[in-house]
Amino acid sequence: MRSRHVVLARRPEGAPVADDFRVETRDLPALSEGRLLVEVLYASANPGSRNRLGGDASYARGMQLGETMEGPAVGRVAESRNPAFKPGDLLSGPFGWAEHVQISGRGTRRIPASTPSLSAWAGILTIPGLTGYFGLRDVGLAKAGETVLISSAAGPVGATAGQVAKLMGCRVVGIASGEERRSWLREEAGFDAVIERRGADTVEAMAERIGHVAPDGVDVYFDNVGGIILDAAIACMRPKGRIVVSGQIADYNADPSSRYGTRRVYEFIGKRLRMEGLIVFDYADRYDEATDAMTGWIAEGKLKFREHVIVGLDGLAELFCAQLRGEIFGRPLARLHA
Amino acid sequence: MRSRHVVLARRPEGAPVADDFRVETRDLPALSEGRLLVEVLYASANPGSRNRLGGDASYARGMQLGETMEGPAVGRVAESRNPAFKPGDLLSGPFGWAEHVQISGRGTRRIPASTPSLSAWAGILTIPGLTGYFGLRDVGLAKAGETVLISSAAGPVGATAGQVAKLMGCRVVGIASGEERRSWLREEAGFDAVIERRGADTVEAMAERIGHVAPDGVDVYFDNVGGIILDAAIACMRPKGRIVVSGQIADYNADPSSRYGTRRVYEFIGKRLRMEGLIVFDYADRYDEATDAMTGWIAEGKLKFREHVIVGLDGLAELFCAQLRGEIFGRPLARLHA
């Protein structure tokens, strides 16, 4: 049988563009003993994949040219030569940008038939939501009554972190671009306040906006973007504040020497700040804890999420690039076999 | 009676210079009930005082113009109207740059007559050594077998942190300027390797030097300086590495917008680094633990320290400024009444 895949065609120079990828049609061999044929139902674009395109050193190994683009996905077992799985089983796994994959089944998670959302298993129940959950709780050590600030708050990581913080009894301030995202965060996700990102292009301007809605300061800053917002947050942090480094989108595309980082390391002394990075894979043995909690909240309507769904693989590369440019509101997903 | 004091004469513009201070002679009033007259034996210059000269926001309140310059000191009770103290008692306390002070006795620590070093109570048994001790142990969480990197390693903070790390079973690499400091660190303080600071003026050049003596990477970086050395250390850190932000001398004098900070926040994600600032006053209820341990090590010859001692107050301002310029090897002390 044949399957269409999106592969890395060349290494991006600067920000990725759609032409860095291409769609290929492959002949899949007959299924080997012990393996599964999975029909992908939802493929997703994960901004963290940006780190793997360059071929330079990063925490995940770099992707090879011609390799199927990675990404969490939801699939259904179409054919099984592994007795642990049967046709119709629903799986969440790193199937990537492909219509069909042949896999061993290792590294997949089973999706309960009763799940309140199938697509969430290619979205907030995977890396982004797990990052929000563990980052906020285990790295940020947020406590009830504290003020939590979240950048890129309308993205799946930030929106999950913020809603988990609300469920923990924190006051939650988000930063997002545009009225659509901001009103969704306030009205759907229940954030206490949301700051407009646009138009605050200096540390001082952003710090003023933060100070306006968090006059007593910030206890936990969940950083999805880096750049000047990080410095504005540091300027607004309370003593013993914690910074969760979840993403640094502002610096991913920059030449190393022109990355911004933070100018405000000196403030770490006076305020006794702590900044710590997070890779969600370190929490793999606790994914079920997080998934059980999050699916419960989804079913109860306490954890909202946005998706940006296209049909078919062909637009996924452009959707990924647009996501990195901040143009997409919601988890970018491609629905296949719909 | 009369006492000479060194006071802050004007706010420094950029790096402090000796003319930012002046010596004043004051008439001390008759001693009030409940107070002590202390004859200062050792006054010290503490680089951390730099933060308090500017009058801008910092963790300690800013100094007033005309105020006696602060600094840990050792004194002897010359006259007492407080029954808890008697003439001849030796005290460690924040007496500042003065020949005599009248105090209540609060905030002083008693120096045992058996102490192996009197001057150490104005030096490494005060802020610098306590910062090294608690920073390395409680913030850096150094463990036996780990590699610890220390900048400004020949200073009292760094030298203490490094020797405490050695006593804990770590491998210790220092960074220092000049053959005199480097050979002292290797031969007296027992560091495993010492890198020359001078001549490595880029992140890459310093990272290469670190990599040469710590090819398996750094677990704990004890940062007394900031600037490019911080980025070089980050480049060399192992996963789950910890950065102790103890000082940022490279950035104290800089205009906020031209401070360097770090460009490498993005590496915090992949390596799950943690960076945390330290103010030693947070550990005030554990000073005795540290002092008991350190005086024991001093008596056993396992904790070495360098002092740069001048006689009389008059040269102390210049010594302080030279210390900030990195020109002084050892704790800057003025011996009085000698």
Does B318 have pLDDT greater than 80? yes
Give the pLDDT of residue B61: 63
Percent of chain A with pLDDT over 90: 84
Q: Which residue of A has its CA nearest to B274?
A: A276
Inter-chain contact B262–A262, Cβ cutoff 8 Å? yes
In chain B, residues under CATH classification 3.90.180.10 are 2-123+305-335
- Which residues in chain A are contacts of B247 at CB distance < 8 A? 269
Inter-chain contact B282–A263, Cβ cutoff 8 Å? no
pLDDT in tens, A45-65: 988 788 888 755 444 568 899
Q: Which residue of B has its CA nearest to A274?
A: B276
What span, in angstroms and rounded, lies between the C-alpha atoms of B51 and B89?
Answer: 32
Give the pLDDT of residue A56: 53
Angle between helices B127-134 and B156-167 (to 10 degrees): 40
Q: How far is A188 from chain B (nearest CA, A)?
A: 30
Contacts with B135 (C-beta within 8 Å, 6 or more apart), sequence order: B157, B161, B222, B244, B246, B278, B280
For residue A325 the two structure tokens come to 């440019």
Task: State the amino acid at position B125 in one-letter form.
Answer: L
For residue B270 the two structure tokens come to 């992949």
Inter-chain contact B245–A256, Cβ cutoff 8 Å? no
Mean pLDDT of B204-223: 98
Percent of chain B with pLDDT over 90: 84
* HSE-up (13 A, CA, CB side) for residue A23: 12
Helix ranges restricted to H, chain B: 127-134, 156-167, 179-183, 203-213, 228-236, 249-252, 267-270, 287-299, 316-324
Mean pLDDT of B284-302: 96
Whether A257 contacts chain B with CB within 8 A = yes
Instruction: Find where tokens 């003593």 sit.
Output: A239
Query: Per DSSP, what are the bridge partners of residue B24?
Result: B5
Among the residue ranges A121-125, B71-75, B252-256, B292-296, the one predicted with the least confidence is: B252-256
Inter-chain contact B275–A265, Cβ cutoff 8 Å? yes
For residue A246 the two structure tokens come to 């979840």
Q: Taking the CA atoms of chain A, what radius of gyration do you get in angstroms?
A: 20
| Per-residue exposure over B310-334, b if at least 16 CB sit within 10 Å of its own CB, e if not | beebeebbbbbbbbbebebbbbbbb
Give the pLDDT of residue A326: 83
What span, in angstroms and rounded, lies between the C-alpha atoms of B178 and B199?
Answer: 11
Give the pLDDT of residue A59: 47
Give the pLDDT of residue B14: 86
What span, in angstroms and rounded, lies between the C-alpha atoms of A207 and A215?
Answer: 10
What span, in angstroms and rounded, lies between the C-alpha atoms of A50 and B233?
Answer: 25
Inter-chain contact A257–B263, Cβ cutoff 8 Å? yes
Does B127 have pLDDT greater than 90? no
Using CA atoms, how far residue A204 sits from A222, B256, B289, in Å, is 19, 11, 42
* Structure confidence at residue B59 as a pLDDT band (50, 70, 90): very low
Tell me what the pLDDT averaged over chain B comes to. Answer: 93
In chain B, residues under CATH classification 3.40.50.720 are 129-281
For residue A306 the two structure tokens come to 């946005």
Contacts with B219 (C-beta within 8 Å, 6 or more apart), sequence order: B142, B143, B146, B147, B148, B237, B238, B240, B241, B242
Q: How far is A251 from chain B (nearest CA, A)?
A: 7
Number of helices (H) and strands (E), helices first, in chain A?
Answer: 9, 15
Report mean pLDDT in 10-residue bins for chain A, 338 residues.
Answer: 95 92 96 97 90 64 89 97 97 97 95 94 92 97 98 94 98 96 97 97 97 98 95 98 89 71 93 96 95 96 95 97 90 90
Count, residues in chain B: 338
Does B58 have pLDDT greater than 60? no
Q: How far is A78 from chain B (nearest CA, A)?
A: 36
DSSP A110-161: EPPTT-S-SGGGGTTTSHHHHHHHHIIIIIS---TT-EEEESSTTSHHHHHH
Give the pLDDT of residue B254: 63
For residue B232 the two structure tokens come to 């070089």
Backbone angles phi, psi at B148, to 5 degrees: -115, 130
Helix ranges restricted to H, B135-189: 156-167, 179-183
In chain A, residues under CATH classification 3.40.50.720 are 130-281
Give the pLDDT of residue B13: 87
Give the pLDDT of residue B338: 66
Inter-chain contact A248–B270, Cβ cutoff 8 Å? no
Report the CATH architecture of B129-281: 3-Layer(aba) Sandwich (3.40)
In this complex, which of B247, B251, B268 lies closest to A275 when CB atoms are compared?
Answer: B268
CATH fold label, A2-123+305-335? Quinone Oxidoreductase; Chain A, domain 1 (3.90.180)
- Which residues in chain A are contacts of B268 at CB distance < 8 A? 245, 275-277
Give the A:B interface size as CB pairs under 8 Å.
Answer: 112
Q: Which CATH number fits domain A130-281: 3.20.20.70, 3.40.50.720, 3.40.50.740, 3.30.70.20?
A: 3.40.50.720
Backbone angles phi, psi at A212, to 5 degrees: -65, -40
Mutate to test the interface with A, among B275, B279, B281 (most CBs of A within 10 A): B275
Q: What angle do CA A124, A274, B291 make, to 5 degrees?
A: 150
Percent of chain B with pLDDT over 70: 95
Contacts with B34 (C-beta within 8 Å, 6 or more apart), sequence order: B81, B82, B104
For residue B28 the two structure tokens come to 């001390």
Mean pLDDT of B269-284: 95
Whether B128 contacts chain A with CB within 8 A = no
What span, in angstroms and rounded, lies between the C-alpha atoms of A2 and A199?
Answer: 49
Beta strands in A236-313 (DSSP E): 237-245, 274-277, 307-311
Contact A251, A260 (CB under 8 A): yes
What span, in angstroms and rounded, lies between the C-alpha atoms of A227 and A217?
Answer: 19
In this complex, which of A263, A264, A274 lies closest to B274 when CB atoms are compared?
Answer: A274
Whether B58 contacts chain A with CB within 8 A = yes
